[in-house]
Each structure stands twice: as C-alpha cells, then as structure tokens.
Structure 1
Amino acid sequence: MTRIFLLIITNLAVLLVASIVMSLLGVNTKSMGGLLVFAAIFGFSGSFISLFMSKWMAKRAMGCQVIDVPQNGQERWLVDTVARQAQQAGIAMPEVAVYDSPEMNAFATGPSKNNSLVAVSTGLLYGMSPDEVEAVLAHEVSHVANGDMVTLTLIQGVVNTFVIFAARLVAQAINTFVSSNDEDGEGLGTIAYMAVVFVLDIIFGILASFVVAYFSRIREYRADEGGARLAGKEKMIAALERLRMGPEAGSMPASMSAFGINGKRSIAELMMSHPPLEKRIEALRHQ
C-alpha cells in the first residue's frame, strides 16, 4: 500500500501542475475532445519521462555500483553470465550493477532492450548459490528481452489517461448537477472543483493500480519462463524456492519494485505486482 500511495501522490502532483499550466495557457478542458487530448498528453508524458530516466533514477535511488571493470572473480562471473544470457536472448549487453541491501532481490530497468540495467543486491549474492543467482539474472534479462519496461509504461500511460479523463468528466457532471440545483446557477467554485478532481484522482488511481498490478503479474510469469529457458528450469525453481524461504522484500522503491525478482507480499493478491511465489513455482513445474 505504501508503494501504491507514493505512486498515486506522484501522479497527482504531476496532474496538479499540469492542470495549473493548462489553465494559465487557457486550454479548454471542458469539451470532451479537449479533455481527452489533455488526459492523453499528461497521462503518457509522466510515464515516458519515468521510462527515459529509469536507469538514472535506479542507480541513485538504490545506490547501484555499476561494474565497468570487474575487480574480482565474483564481478567477472556476474558480467560474463549476463553477457552470455543477453546474447542468447538477442539483446544488447545491459549494464550490470550491485547494490547494498540485505534482502535477496534484483531488478532490471531501462528505456529499451538495447539500453538497460540489471542489478542484484548483496543479500542475493551472499544468500543464494551460483546456480540460483544465474537463474535470477536470467529472469531479469528476460524482462529486458520481453520489452517489459516499455509495455508496462504503455499500460501505465493508458491507465493514467483513463484516471485523468474519468476524474474530470465526473467532476464536470457533479458541477453541472450542483449548478442546476443552485439558485445562483454557478455550480462548484474553482477551489471546490479542484478538490473534487483531486479526490476522484485518488479514487480512480487506486482502482487503476489494480489493472497495472494484474498486467505486472502476467509479465512476471513470462519472465520466469524466460529465466527457465536461459538458465534451466530446475535452477529457476530453486531460486524461487530460496526466495520463498527468505524474508519479505520491502526496501525497493515503487519505480523499481515491479521489475524486481521478489515482490512485496500482500493479503490481497489484486494489489501485488508479483504473483505469490508458490503460484510461480507451480506454474514452472507444470510447463
């Protein structure tokens, strides 16, 4: 819920600034056409800006140490393993990085298949066997090869557009209703209208996050399948089993958590960016 809340707050901040700018520019968002254009522009712009900045943001948010020149045998093994898997998957060599965290996790990010980053935590390196680490790396390389960063960005853009459009459409309907039942016929004032839009953005944003989480879970199964092809089915299952026995993931920021090998657990699966590990293991066993 913390990650969902932060994501919603970030989107709302963008929308609030966008609304003010559009008002100052005199852009009419009252008409259906104008409202839809407004929603699409700002619904997709935030998502694509986040995509293009994803590597830069990930490195700074997680304190990633990119391995430019391997300093020891472990770093050389990491780089060589990712290089081999990237060649098998038909993508350009991702940047490889390590970040300091006690939890066993890893993530992939970047604006395209040929401009990506694969990072692993120190907790994963020391808590897993080489075969299990290899499977995790294969899972992340599969995310890149599947174009999951771009796919999820497009989905988020469509969802953002829906949230912006629906919130303002409903707010305008409420304003019309109030004005028709008001003696002055003025309807909601500017501040009241913006407050209604703000509340509706939150409500629709929460509902829309379920849609994004659903597609994220589907994408996770595909990355597991890709990891099994690149590293071996038994290695992928062993890695997921190790994660299942370990502590819950929780320190990764929302912008990267959807691309981690291990997601935060929740009572309600609808709110999870990753399927339960038990289901992922079962799906691999029945391939």
Structure 2
Amino acid sequence: METRVEEDFDVLATRFRPELLAHCYRMLGSVHDAEDVVQETFLRALRFHEAFEGRASMRTWLYRIATNACLTALNSRGRQPLPVGLGGPGEHHVVTWLEPLPDAMISPGDPATIVIDRASIRLAFIAALQHLPAQQRAVLILRDVLRWRAAEVAETLGTTTTAVNSALRRARARLDEVAPDQDKITEPTAAAQRELLARYATAFERKDMTAIAELLSGDAIWEMPPTTLWFQGPYDIVRHLAGSCPAGPGDLRLVATHANGQPAFATYLPSGGHHVLATLQVLTLTTAGISHIVAFSAPEILTTFAAPVGVTFP
C-alpha cells in the first residue's frame, strides 16, 4: 500500500512540479531555493497524505504546503534583488542576487512555449516582488497571479479575510511604486522580435558598438549581477561594453535560449582553443528597442541553464 502511495505521488510530482516551481520561484527569487522547497513540499505531502481530506483539490493542498514552506524559507534570509533595485550605480552591498529561471524548467515539452503566464515570471515582476514583505508577497501571488479567493488565502496563511485584503492593498500600492507599468510596455511582433534578436547577436559577435547602440531604447538599462554597477542609456552602455569586454570582433559567440519567458543568450568567450560560457543575457524587448539586459555571470546560474561549458564553434 505504501508503495502505491509513493507511485501516486511520483505522478503528482511530474504533473504539478513545473507550476509549483514557478510559484516558489516567484516567492523566493531563486531557482535553487525553489527547487529545494518543491522537493520539501512533495516530501511533506507524502508524509502527511492521510491528513488530506479532499476538502480542497490536491493542487490547492500542494500550493498551501509550498507557500508556507516558502514563508519559512524567507524568514531565514533577505530579499534577492537586481543591481538597479539597490540604489545608485556603483554602490556596494552584500547581496544574494535574484536568479533567472530557465523556461525549460517550467515548460519541459517546448521551452519556447510557456504554459505559465509569462507576465508572472518576467524578471521585472520577480524583482519587484522582492520589495514586498514575505506575507504580502504570498498574498499578492495567491490573489493576483493564481486568482485564489480571499477566504482561500486566509485559510492557507492562517489569518482572516480582512487581513488578506489589507495586505493585498499594501502590496499592490508598493508594486505600483517599484514595478514598471506593464500597460506601457509594448512588445514587437514575433517577426520583429526575431529580426531584432538576430541583429543583436550579429552586432555583439562583431563587437559593433554603433549597431548595438542603435538596437537599444533611449532609456535602456544594462546590469550584471553579481557586480553592483549598472548603466543606463545607449551611450553609457556601449562605452562600458567597449572598454570591459575582453573579446575582439569575431571572438564572442551568442547562443539563443529563453529565461523568465523572455529571450536570452548564452555568451561564450574564447579560451585555450575553445569557447567558455561567460554570461547569460536576459533581454526585455519593446517596440522602441531592447530596453533591459541583465547579464548574469555567477557559475551556479550558468550551470542551471545546462549550457555546455566549453565548446568549439566553426
């Protein structure tokens, strides 16, 4: 009988893992922490499966376990921002950085077609969530992303509907202060996106600073955790790239991928006769051009994307 229960939970793990991972990632801002909490969620569900009385769906029950596990995890550490969320350029902080989420982890069948709402996993939204206290963050995600009723959220968090509604108002107000206005962000058509990305990859590989600048919006931001420095505007961005990128024209290689429901590039630098994975660039595209580029370089982030570490390009 115990074996049958374990087999049933293996099926549940396969079915619900991608969406629970996305949920925990929204809460925690870390893929690695989210994976740990999802694993803990299924272990708790297996351990206490007899307590599940069918008053809610299995999916809702698992979300409740995962949410409370995330709240426990958040009590032991601070928020995970991006550099622009820390203050002015050049200010130094001891930070546990926000991590990107590979699309393949939440849409394993076809990473290019995410079954989870893209807006709810975009880097800008996840970064904005880091400004909310843990309880407010949970309330906002459960109410505005998952569309739970206030009573369901109250039961999950062990509080009242009045407290839930109050927390939701405060969370929404705070997001309005720190998050970009999604209604003002107009993405290019699919064809225009493909052209823009192709031109960007070509310009980057050729180290053509003029071409890169032409592809950026006027208020474009470049940031590169774990470095606290960040740059805004095409002029400052390309001046930084021209002076800091060690690759010459024709040396760098960009390989397309997806993260947070956004286009991304794994970038490779030449080293010892082959190319070494150096950064993961996650891009935000608008009709005005590329408005935001986050270039992640921490090794633990690069390995999450399962990109080959050292490769030889033709």
Task: Please state which structure has a larger fraction of its residues in helix.
Answer: 1
Instruction: Give the TM-score taking structure 1 as reference length.
Output: 0.26
Q: Which structure ranks higher in relative contact order (CA pairs < 8 Å, sequence separation ≥ 6)?
A: 1
